[in-house]
Amino acid sequence: MNVLVIGRGGREHSMIKKLLASDRINKLFVAPGNGGMADEAVCLDIDEIDIDQLIAAAREHHVDLTIVGPEVPLLAGITNRFQAEGLAIFAPTKEAAMLEGSKDFAKAFMMRHGIPTAAYETFTDAAAAKAYIEEKGAPIVIKADGLAAGKGVVVAETVQDAIAAVDAMLVDQVFAEAGTTIVVEEFLAGKEFSLMAFVHENQVYPMVTARDHKRAFDQDQGPNTGGMGAFAPVADVSEKDLQFAIQEILQRAADGLVAEDRPFTGILYAGLIMTTEGLKVIEFNTRFGDPETQVVLPLLKNDLLQVFEDVLAGKDPELTWEDACCAGVVVAANGYPGTYAKALPIPNFTLADDSFLIYAGAKQTAEGLVSDGGRVLLAGATAKTLDAATEKAYQSLGCLSAEDGFFYRKDIGK
């Protein structure tokens, strides 16, 4: 089969590595991809949201199946367009992707279907939002309603910080259209984890649990990022909590979307937190998480292409998992998630057994591979224990020095 992966980051590179293990792949394309993937897939110079060009490329290259990585094309209706053209695609429609595309829609959906989540109110008026915040107190969470590239959530420790976030979103419009509506919700305390599942309408096939590290620096210090590392599975998630998450959260969400005539096919991601009141949903995503995908897919024993095909056909893919752990450490450019330099030379890494590199922000030049983003790559490894996996992942980074212009957390997996 000829397969097209849409996207340019670490999540897409991880999918490509897993798809390459299939003996049923003829040609593997990625649009647009990045320089770190160029040896493993044919990179097509087409933006993720240029749907007309993506359809044309799928036809030109006789693509049998397209898989979508990032969220923006989903909300732009890429699945609807591909389906209208008779092209096979593994991704939710724009109607189903609203579960990620609008925080307000997601919260109201969870309330309608009895899915546990934080109490909240939605606002378009800054004065009303501030009055609500002053009534509720801090800590409190402010979220831009729409897609904001992972930057639209403020966990405010004080009322003043919360009010500043309201002004930034509703008055200064720092997130443009994505922030013209905001959701203000109660702060939830507890340990977080992620649970992803392959979903086709009412059928839910869960993956192993994962946990990522959001803060930039060790001991969870510094600003929130898109994720500085991750590991799977998560040992402190009980079987009881796992079954609750599958039945009362993922299954209820899938059933609710079918009931509301927006059936879901693709990857459903639940960001979850274990509170004193029980398990609750922080957010839903409607695609593979990043960097969680990079540590979950290496543990999957199945042929990933076969899984996509089975799920699309309404068949149980009979997922099987390695009895092992996987850890991944993100290497970022100094200054990330703020201002950072690009075009930093990426050194050659020496990898131990069962170790791997996933490129997220990399570009090929005449001089070699250079950085092209804030999160540049992930060094990962699998082993029988989490400690052994993290130790191997860090071994791969031994060639990096402070002068290279990169940094990474030293406590991933702790």
User: Which residues have CB under 8 Å from 330's CB, separation 6+?
Assistant: 227, 228, 229, 291, 360, 375, 377, 378, 408, 409
The pLDDT of residue 333: 97
Which tokens is 212 given? Answer: 């990522």
The alpha helices in 245-378, defined as continuous H runs, are 251-259, 292-296, 304-312
What is 125-180's CATH number, 1.10.150.570, 3.30.1490.20, 3.30.1330.60, 3.30.1520.10?
3.30.1490.20
Residue 255 scores a pLDDT above 80: yes
Question: How big is the chain, counted in residues?
Answer: 414
- Give dist(CA 149, CA 39) in Å, integer: 28
pLDDT band of residue 150 (cuts 50, 70, 90) is confident
Q: What single-letter amino acid sits at 345?
A: P
State yes or no: pLDDT of 224 exceeds 90.
no
**DSSP one-letter string for 180-199:** SSEEEEE---SEEEEEEEEE
pLDDT band at 151 (very low <50, low <70, confident <90, very high): confident
Q: What are 263-319's pLDDT values in tens digits?
A: 999 999 999 999 999 999 999 999 999 999 999 999 999 999 999 999 999 999 999
**Residue 210, pLDDT score:** 98
Residue 251 reports pLDDT greater than 90: yes
Domain 325-407 adopts which CATH fold? Glycinamide Ribonucleotide Synthetase; Chain A, domain 4 (3.90.600)
Give 307-351 pLDDT, tens digit per residue.
Answer: 999 999 999 999 999 999 999 999 999 999 999 999 999 999 999
191-312 CATH, one of 3.30.470.20, 3.40.50.80, 3.30.200.20, 3.40.630.30: 3.30.470.20
What number is the average pLDDT over the span 386-393?
A: 97
What's the rounded mean pLDDT across residues 65-85?
Answer: 98
Crossing angle (nearest 10°) for helices 159-166 and 126-136: 160
Is residue 149 pLDDT above 90, yes or no? no
Instruction: Answer yes or no: is pLDDT of 375 > 80.
Output: yes
User: From residue 389, how far is each of 24, 57, 86, 117 by CA, in Å?
Assistant: 30, 39, 43, 33
Q: What is the four-CA torsion angle of 33, 361, 74, 320, rounded to 10 degrees? A: 80
Residue that is written with structure tokens 């071994």 in the block = 395
Rounded to whole angstroms, how far apart are CA atoms 81 and 92?
Answer: 11
Question: Can you tell me the mean pLDDT for 75-87?
Answer: 98
Judge whether residue 223 has pLDDT over 90.
no
Q: How many CB atoms lie within 10 A of CB 402?
A: 8
Q: Per the confidence metrics, is the pTM higher than 0.85?
A: yes
Give the model's pLDDT for residue 148.
Answer: 84
Domain range list for the chain: 2-93, 125-180, 191-312, 325-407
DSSP string for 113-145: TT--B--EEEES-HHHHHHHHHHH-SSEEEEES
**Percent of the chain with pLDDT strictly greater than 90:** 94
Given CATH 3.30.70.3280, say whether it is the number of domain 2-93: no
